[in-house]
Amino acid sequence: MAHACLRRCARPSNNRGVTTADLPRRIAHLDMDAFFASVELLRYPQLQGLPVVIGGRRHTPEDEAQLIAQWGGLENIPLEAFDRLGSYVGRGVITTATYPARKFGLGSAMGMMKAARLCPQAILLPIDFARYRSYSRQFKAVIVSIAPVMEDRGVDEVYIDFTHVPGGQEQGGRVLAARIQQAIQSATGLSCSVGVAPNKLLAKMASEFQKPQGISVVYAEDLQALIWPLPCRKINGIGPKAGAKMQALGIETIADLAARSLPWLVQHFGKSYGAWLHAAAHGQDERPVVTESEPVSMSRETTFVHDLHAVQHKAELGAVFTRLCERVAEDLQRKGYAGRTIGIKLRYANFKSVTREITVEQFTQEAVTIRQIAGQCLRRVPLEQPLRLLGVRVGGLVVWDAAQQQPRSAEKVAIKRHMQSRDLLTLPLF
């Protein structure tokens, strides 16, 4: 099984702090409501309003085909025919639960056996990641068609810079938030919650205030009334460990944290985390919304059907190796990149992995050059043991001007990015 991999690094938009037009910065955090479960309910509308959890098995196309053949459509499956949590035996955890299931105390990451004790009648649906990813792409495409400065934060959430978007300043951003909410609802049938605030930190907290289907607007002057009463753990960046330490130090709420001096926080939490805690407790966060990412490396790897030995299967391995280099070169050329750090990855039959890389003077996107340098890497690893996986990677990428055989100028890169983002806007949603 061969697959391609693209590693990316973030590139910030240039909207930092107050903008050139002196509009106050308005940043939204949008998070889908009970995401995996809501996507499932689109195909099983008969489960609306019921406690439903997603977890355990994987949904397969074969299962689905069989159910459709049996019932003439997924929407026709009677409630009695669905699996119930009470009959689950195993070590699986819940990915998410519908809001009716949350009334029983069910939620993400809870063991299913424990959840079954709390709500045995809850309906249990298998997981279908491909479908959630597809809906994830759809709702994000809706957002960028309305507000183009969007930062992808995972399968069901994004930050959006509202500052310069029509409606983004009206009622603190509520008008634009409602427009986006409706557009997502009509394109996908899914609901979401939005928080709008002066920065990402506060927006992230605000999006949780009125879930599901909520819009919460926070202004800088709301800090004391809306943010300070919350427990410290509500700050994205204060995890279980830091939270426990704070509790031991008598700090429960964000107000308690804000009451501590900067030197005190630095003394107890270290220089950089202490300083960050101080700023966060005072609602300060200058992070820009990161709209695009540039790949830092591209790679191809393959897991062999049977383990291969370097001597015994020399010809076969060599052919696979060359093919991997060609595939990486094709990826680079198609996407317009070149790199000068060439690396390999091997996994032995005992699952131990090794990597080697060599950085050369000249950037390349040519299969022959990649093959030659990757070959040098290969000579630097032990090859006594049989191999189960082989991979080739090109890193240290730059946007490459193939005609001039040199990296593109910053200006041309900016234009290329602009064209790419325009393409995104014209993509069909489905």
Question: Which listed option, Mg ion, ligand TTP, none, makes contact with residue 155 (CB within 5 to 8 Å by class)?
Answer: ligand TTP
Q: Is 32 in the site for ligand TTP (CB under 6 A)?
A: yes
- Of the candidates 40, 151, 157, 301, the residue annotated as catalytic is 157
Q: Is 31 in the site for ligand TTP (CB under 6 A)?
A: yes
Q: Which is nearer to Mg ion, 153 or 335 (CB)?
A: 153
> Segment 379-408, which members bind Mg ion (CB under 5 A)?
none
Q: Which is nearer to ligand TTP, 211 or 268 (CB)?
A: 211
208 closest CA partner among 412, 56, 369, 33: 33
Cα separation values, 218 from 195, 317, 404, Å: 7, 59, 51
Which sign does the torsion angle of CA 109, 110, 115, 118 carry?
negative
Instruction: Pick the binder of ligand TTP from 25, 36, 160, 226 (CB under 6 A).
Output: 36
- Do the beta carbons of residue 343 and residue 393 sit within 8 Å? yes
Q: Is 348 in the site for ligand TTP (CB under 6 A)?
A: no
276 closest CA partner among 284, 250, 223: 284
User: Which tokens hold the place of 386?
Assistant: 């049989």
Q: Is 336 in the site for ligand TTP (CB under 6 A)?
A: no
SS3 249: coil
Q: Count of alpha carbons within 13 Å of 305, Cβ hemisphere only?
A: 1
Alpha-carbon span 229 to 223, nearest angstrom? 9
Instruction: Pick the binder of ligand TTP from 25, 26, 30, 35 (CB under 6 A).
Output: 35
Alpha-carbon span 97 to 102, nearest angstrom? 6
Instruction: Pick the binder of Mg ion from 27, 35, 301, 327 (CB under 5 A).
Output: 35
Q: Is 34 in the site for ligand TTP (CB under 6 A)?
A: yes
Q: How far is the CB of 290 from ligand TTP (least distance, A)?
A: 19
Cα separation values, 427 from 142, 145, 185, Å: 10, 10, 18
Instruction: Pick the binder of Mg ion from 31, 40, 152, 301 (CB under 5 A).
Output: 31
* C-alpha angle 385-340-11 in degrees, rounded to nearest 5: 110
Q: Is 95 in the site for ligand TTP (CB under 6 A)?
A: yes
Q: How far is the CB of 23 from Mg ion (least distance, A)?
A: 28
Binding map of ligand TTP across residues 141-180, x = CB under 6 A, - = no contact: --------------xx------------------------
Question: Catalytic annotation on 157?
Answer: yes
Q: Is 309 in the site for ligand TTP (CB under 6 A)?
A: no
Q: Which is nearer to Mg ion, 40 or 156 (CB)?
A: 156
Question: Which listed option, ligand TTP, Mg ion, none, makes contact with residue 95 (CB within 5 to 8 Å by class)?
Answer: ligand TTP
Q: How far is the CB of 205 from Mg ion (least distance, A)?
A: 13
SS3 369: helix
Residue 186 CA to chain centroid, in angstroms?
23
Alpha-carbon span 289 to 99, nearest angstrom? 30
Instruction: Name the residues annotated as catalytic.
Output: 157
Chain positions contacting Mg ion, by CB under 5 A = 31-32, 35, 156-157
